[in-house]
Structure 1
């Protein structure tokens, strides 16, 4: 994570791209909030003040260029300021092209607001979920750890303090915001460590069974180094072969006769050819040929080949002992991922069930969200990825942001 990248998807690791059935309306959201997560740290309320704060940051970080004026957050439901700003900053339409209407600008503003809402609220809810889960599992992060992480990342991202202050001003962020993100990130890392602890153990029997089933993965096929000349006609191929038999070098003959530009420029060389890579007639011939014997012409769909095998590298099969470190690492990773997948599934179901959002602020992380349509490709939930990842990921086009 970099301080210059503000993640609006802090809970990406803990979000599955699956639809969950609705069950009840959950606890009511207080008047000063846009959402509430029950059974979590504090009162679990995502306040309107916090939401608006992060909307400003999200708007700034999603489209602002360095040194430019802050980008205003779209203002529902009429989007008066947003429309005015778009009209003010829109380039003059090309000759013959229609001018964008207020209705079209309003549609753009509405889409932008909903996109920012989904990112910001998804982030704020995810932060509540992570902190709630950490509390339930007795996981804590010390102020000392946060101080250390903050100092390291600030130094890396902003060698000059003036650049750091400029970043805070332009993004609308505070140091408290950044420290909060670092806290949640570290809680998340500790959760992952706890979930995967001890799940990397693999027995010798498991390793042997995997090796037996997947021996081909640990084999290197036979390969041959070749010298080839490709010509359009049989007569040209025979002339090329005659020149070789007379003692002319492959490089000279290939340069004169070959129409295969790739091998011609390399003196006719084709290195590390394995069975099935070449056209069948040539493939059969070279893998039946003896080393250092010139063969051909062989007719193929590309023309006529003259060939010579210069080196034969025999098939190599790793033994079980040789393959064991690779297999052990693979199976350990799979076991850890399986544990993480199950945790994510249970985690998301539990915390979504505890999350209720106000109308106009409902996203797929809310208990009172409508079930996603099942006849289209699965879409990751807000801020999520289709496959759980061990670190949070910012949504496409967004910069990073912590939560307050």
Structure 2
């Protein structure tokens, strides 16, 4: 795992795919870009995390920065004119191939606008979800002490950076401060505590539920009959007869298989084919194999692949796992399903509740803002497997490793 990658796995947050555009923003203080309930996300906070995101996305262009423990040189797209961004792209753009036109200012501006909007949305998604988690934790009485945060931080830091100098280089090259990391660790801890509270007691499974699942899914707890074979495959019936005669005369099956079989997989093993279950072979061979008694030489059997002779070496009867033996597996499965159902319900209510409290300024509206325009959705499936915030792309390991959301 990349160093400090665990710093990026934060908070309980679930993304719903919507098509949204910017609008609204009334009632938001002048120094803020988003208002969530009584809290605000200030322009300075947004700018700080935007720079971190830009460093992560552009840092690969300055690979020596992290190694030297310095902040990479980045150009943050500057809306609405994107003057600095356009100038930087013109300066660094490769020369076009012979006969191809140079990129225009309009094309550079389009690139800058796209890059800015991607960074903006990632940063806002992270900051808004952080407010949601903090707010939900407060509403549910879930608290994290500074001591808990420090303990978790020191554990993660020790695992990721055995040397203090490496950690200091990471801070310098990532654009993050120590407080930024502590903030993210706090959110991670809050998320874990919320998730524990939401799923507490939801793993109870009754014997009746286990029995009902077992009776409905008995096939999942069964093993079919399996047969170990010695086989020889030939291209012609004449070759199959030769193989059959040689084995009947007392020559070892393995020797004949290596001499005459065209089935490379079993040929190299002396014709051995183990643990064959019904339905795994071509139908003509399959029918013959499971009709044959143990130890009898059978064939030739004509198939689409050629002619087989075979002998059943061993028969392992089918088995059915008992309800008692299957109970631990079923109990774990049903408990997990119950917990996931609880999380799914929480996600639905959590998102509705906090989106309704989130108002965004014009130019900063994302899918999480209540003042986003109504549009048709192509998908409303929430990602609910694990609670986790979506963070802006941030550098998480020196010297050059970066992560993306």
Conserved in 2, the CA contact under 8 Å of 1:8 and 1:399?
no
State yes or no: 1:64 paired with 2:63: no
Which residue does the alignment assign to 2:385? 389
Range with greater deviation from structure 2 (134-143 or 157-166): 157-166
Task: Structure 1 unaligned segments of length 5 or more: list them.
Answer: 381-385
- Among 370, 380, 390, the alignment partner of 2:373 is 370
Measured on the aligned residues, the alpha-carbon RMSD in Å equals: 2.5
Q: Paired residues, what number?
A: 388
For the residue of structure 2 that corresponds to 1:272, the secondary structure is: strand
Aligned-pair CA distance for 1:106: 1.3
Aligned-pair CA distance for 1:67: 2.2
CA distance in structure 2 between the partners assigned to 1:142 and 1:84 by the alignment = 47
Map 1:190-339 onto structure 2 (within 5 A).
Answer: 190-339=193-342
Aligned-pair CA distance for 1:379: 7.3
Aligned-pair CA distance for 1:399: 5.0
Which residue does the alignment assign to 2:47? 52
Range with greater deviation from structure 2 (387-396 or 339-348): 387-396
Q: Deviations over 1:45-68 (max 9, x none)?
A: 111100010000011112313424
Which residue does the alignment assign to 1:17? 16
Aligned-pair CA distance for 1:4: 3.5
TM-score normalised by length of structure 2: 0.90
CA distance in structure 2 between the partners assigned to 1:84 and 1:365 by the alignment = 33
In structure 2, do the counterparts of structure 1 residues 365 and 231 end up closer, same or farther at CA, with 3 Å as the change threshold? same
For the residue of structure 2 that corresponds to 1:14, the secondary structure is: coil
In structure 2, do the counterparts of structure 1 residues 25 and 31 end up closer, same or farther at CA, with 3 Å as the change threshold? same
CA distance in structure 2 between the partners assigned to 1:280 and 1:395 by the alignment = 54
- Among 88, 111, 125, the alignment partner of 2:128 is 125
In structure 2, do the counterparts of structure 1 residues 2 and 344 end up closer, same or farther at CA, with 3 Å as the change threshold? farther
CA distance in structure 2 between the partners assigned to 1:322 and 1:232 by the alignment = 47
Conserved in 2, the CA contact under 8 Å of 1:16 and 1:345?
no
Which residue does the alignment assign to 1:348? 351
Aligned-pair CA distance for 1:84: 1.8
In structure 2, do the counterparts of structure 1 residues 201 and 21 end up closer, same or farther at CA, with 3 Å as the change threshold? farther
Aligned-pair CA distance for 1:293: 1.3
CA distance in structure 2 between the partners assigned to 1:254 and 1:397 by the alignment = 59
Which residue does the alignment assign to 1:383? none
Conserved in 2, the CA contact under 8 Å of 1:16 and 1:344?
no
CA distance in structure 1 between the partners assigned to 2:384 and 2:86 by the alignment = 38
TM-score normalised by length of structure 1: 0.90
Q: Deviations over 1:34-53 (max 9, x none)?
A: 11101xxxx41111100010
CA distance in structure 1 between the partners assigned to 2:286 and 2:392 by the alignment = 46
Range with greater deviation from structure 2 (174-183 or 145-154): 145-154
